[in-house]
Chain A
Amino acid sequence: MFGRAGALPAYDPKTDAGGSSDFLTTRLETMVSWARSNSLWPLPFATACCGIEFMSVVSSHYDLSRFGAEVVRFSPRQADLLVVAGTVTDKMAPVLRKIYDQMPEPKWVISMGVCASSGGFYRAYHVTQGIDEIIPVDVYVPGCPPTPEELMYGIFELQRKIRSGEMSRDSRSAKRAAERPA
């Protein structure tokens, strides 16, 4: 996607002409997705055990900042990746939905661990049987809890998805609307 041209005139400060010989040709979508995929701002919706493993992932040993996803934000207004780490109960579900709604587009969701993905082994009267009952999920990471490597793999998969996907959800829904028979 990146290109490099041959020799161009060097930048001349007197005339303010010429300039760097580096330029790139690409699609805007590719460029934007590439940038987005490497600057995820996660909101850790850490409810339980998985939250402790999430702490490991962002801590010194596993150091998620190597992959551009360490700027942990606790305000949904500043985050574009919701990491749901842990069991979500029916009491917590409205809170999760509200936080998801408060996040600006574009936004992605990683469901970390089996509890968030399916309720896990809590087939019980107070546990949401998977957060996809209430919000859309982009990547499911299995494990109870997933090891840090597994969560990192999940984040790589999400990055891949962001890079190969549409620039925004709006364009997706616009396409669907266009395809719909009148």
Chain B
Amino acid sequence: MSAVATPSLSAPAERIRERLSTSPLSERVQVRDLDLPTLEVSPADWPALARWLRDDPECRYDLFLDLAGVDNLRRPGQKARFEAVVHLHSLPRNEHVRVKVLLPDGAPPSLPTVREVWPASDWFEREAYDLFGFDFPGHPNLRRILCHDAFVGHALRKDYAPGQRWFAAEEDLKMPPWALETGAHAGHFETQTLSIGPSHPATHGIIHLIARLDGERITRAETQIGYLHRCFEKMSETHTWNGVIPYADRLNYVSAMNNGVGYVRTVEKMLGIEIPDRGVLVRTILSEFSRIMDHCVNIGANLVDIGALTNFWYLYQPRETIYDLLEACCGARLTVSYVRVGGLAIDVPEDFVPRCRSLLESIPKFLDDVDRLVTNNPIVRGRLQGTGVVSREDAVAWGLTGPMLRASGVPYDVRRSRPYDFYDRFDWDIPVSSDGDSFSRYLVRMEEMRQSLSIIRQALEIFPEKGPVNSSDWHVVLPPKDAVYHDMESLIYHFKLVMEGIKVPRGERYEWVEGANGELGFYAISEGTGGPYRLKVRPPCFPMMAAFEKIVVGGTISDAIATLGTLNIIAGELDR
């Protein structure tokens, strides 16, 4: 297939097409223009295209964001049944791109691994193997990652029944092969293989770390995940667009609001609807408060691991006060489910602004106190400074985003780089550190909380006192109950929405928000029915967890625990 220019190609897509025409790949890659520039390629040409995308001086797609499998079984008119959809970001050019590897029908789905190009793709490929049965020739550790080893079949294929379970016994929870090998010094106490988790106080959520030790030094490590794989993506395929919101909120349950906002933004972009300013600002304010909550828990829990329990109790107090605000808005504390496609579930309470202002006054005291207790504390510095170091190059190669990437010196924050909502109107800074160690991640988070407070302050200044929070497009938002009872049209809209769900136009979309621990992306495919055909989350802590086993090698086991606390791993989002 040749790269034929269609007249409507947008500027970024046109630029890629032009650049591509100078390379030998031009005949074999098709450039399409969807919400993002989209390249279509066959599996055989995928490694060459991957290398070109990363290395071409005009492209430099260095940050691997996501790999999503797609099964087109119930989606007529597609070129192939299986697709591997890759999302990439170019830090130098600040652009996203999508690559679709079309896996030819008639053969078992298979595409070469691109671990050599982007090490971050390692776990994403294992996930596609697990859930779709894609084979990745050349991948050295192609084992199931989310489902247990006694699982049969590939759960996200369309012909897999959502409720089909397979039971695992204890012996079905397999260790990685290397952990079972007996080395030359296997009998020696100093050389042992240590299994931490999956239920262990230091893992904060259920993660299984297997480490080979030489004395106290880790010589090899591997993390096993999937212990909380609760099938978010399959469940979303069986629900309406609005019905997915409670599931989305339970991805990163420490800052649930951000997940909901990220998800509904994706759907709203597909629908092409606008939300009134008031609704957008409520989302922004509560998202930033959630970010503060998330960082409080992360810093507090990390300090517990290194023996500073007081801060945990202390940092929990602002969290409780933010819970009160969320509870006043929507009735729930933790998993709020407050957003809806087209706005919010209900309007904020009358005293929303004074409540926010009083939080703005009370929270800085807690931050200052913890700052005084912790930042110059010699034990904290001794434990965190210089440990868990991630260089700038590694951070990008491993696909890290959020505070971890910024602590390694890359000022990439999608609120600034690819702004959404009103973030481009606010005056705020991106804290960046160049050390890349655990301590700089702590510092970045402390400063981010202050920046969030500043964003909230500015958002409150432009916050409209009165006005709607929801779009008035009754194809999307339920009409007011009063109108439903008195007006035939509204009753029909209400009936259609409740019975059939929102009709999102056919198409696909990748949208993002800055979650508390990194770029939280949602890739949605709609077939025009009331629910998603496919919904893939780009979980920020998935690549972080994949990087963990590389970060800790060479350090001591106690440093590994301190480092794990600074990654901000949330199992709900990691395992989905």
Contacts and interface: CB of A to CB of B under 8 A. Distances in A.
Interface of A: 45-49, 51-53, 55-56, 59-61, 74, 86-87, 89-99, 115, 121-127, 144-145, 147
B172 A94 contact: yes
Given A47-B205, A121-B246, A122-B230, A95 B317 contact: no
Interface string B308-344: 0000111011011001000000000111000000000
B148 A90 contact: yes
A92 B571 contact: no
B160 interface: yes
Given A48-B228, A94-B172, A125-B231, A144 B316 contact: no
B167 A49 contact: no
B155 A145 contact: no
A59 B227 contact: no
Contacts, number: 131
Given A90-B167, A92-B227, A98-B170, 19 more contacts: A48-B205, A49-B250, A52-B254, A55-B316, A56-B333, A60-B317, A61-B317, A74-B200, A90-B148, A90-B168, A91-B147, A92-B198, A94-B168, A123-B163, A125-B162, A125-B165, A126-B155, A126-B230, A144-B246
A17 to B, nearest CB: 48
Interface of B: 146-148, 151, 155, 160-170, 172-173, 198-201, 205-206, 226-231, 234-235, 246-247, 250, 253-254, 297, 312-314, 316-317, 319-320, 323, 333-335, 571-572
Given A48-B250, A126-B165, A89 B229 contact: yes
Contacts of B206: 47, 92
Nearest to B321: A61
A123 B312 CA distance: 35
A9 B5 CA distance: 107
A98 B205 CA distance: 18
A59 B300 CA distance: 12
A182 B169 CA distance: 36
Contact of B162 (A61, A115, A123): A123
Contact of A90 (B165, B253, B319): B165
Given A53-B334, A98-B170, A61 B316 contact: yes
Contacts of B163: 123-125
A91 B173 contact: yes
18 contacts: A47-B228, A48-B205, A48-B230, A48-B250, A49-B250, A52-B297, A87-B228, A89-B148, A90-B148, A91-B226, A94-B172, A96-B199, A121-B246, A123-B235, A125-B147, A125-B162, A126-B148, A147-B333
Contact of B316 (A59, A87, A91): A59
Contact of A53 (B198, B235, B312, B333): B333
Given A48-B228, A59-B313, A90-B165, A122 B334 contact: no
B132 to A, nearest CB: 14
Contact of A60 (B151, B253, B297, B316): B316
B230 A89 contact: yes
A67 B380 CA distance: 33
A95 B203 CA distance: 15
Contact of B313 (A60, A121, A147): A60
A24 B99 CA distance: 78
Contact of A127 (B198, B230, B246, B572): B230
A48 B169 contact: no
Contacts of B231: 122, 124-127
A98 B168 CA distance: 13
A144 B311 CA distance: 27
Nearest to A134: B167
Contacts of A95: 170, 173, 198-199, 227
A99 B200 CA distance: 11
A182 B475 CA distance: 71
Nearest to A144: B335
A122 B199 CA distance: 21
B235 A122 contact: yes
A85 to B, nearest CB: 11
- The 6 A-B pairs of least Cβ separation, nearest first, read A124-B231, A49-B253, A91-B148, A74-B201, A94-B170, A59-B316
Contacts of B205: 46-48, 51
Contacts of A115: 230
A91 B146 CA distance: 9
B253 A125 contact: no
B335 A91 contact: no
A94 B174 CA distance: 12
A91 B227 contact: yes
Contact of A124 (B230, B313, B571): B230
B152 to A, nearest CB: 10
Given A59-B312, A59-B313, A52 B230 contact: no
Contacts of B235: 121-124
B258 to A, nearest CB: 14
B230 A49 contact: no
A48 B313 contact: no
B116 to A, nearest CB: 30
Contact of B572 (A48, A55, A92, A125): A48
A52 to B, nearest CB: 6
Contact of B168 (A52, A56, A91, A147): A91
B201 A90 contact: no
A145 B335 CA distance: 7
Nearest to B229: A126
Contacts of A55: 297, 316
Interface centre among A53, A60, A91, A96 (most CB of B within 10 A): A91
Contacts of B335: 49, 144-145
Contact of B160 (A47, A59, A89, A125): A125
B334 A145 contact: yes
B10 to A, nearest CB: 38
Contacts of B162: 123-125
Nearest to B317: A60
A127 B254 CA distance: 21
B234 A125 contact: yes
B250 A56 contact: no
Nearest to B335: A49
B572 A49 contact: yes
Most B-side CB within 10 Å, residue of A53, A87, A125: A125
Contacts of B320: 56, 59, 61
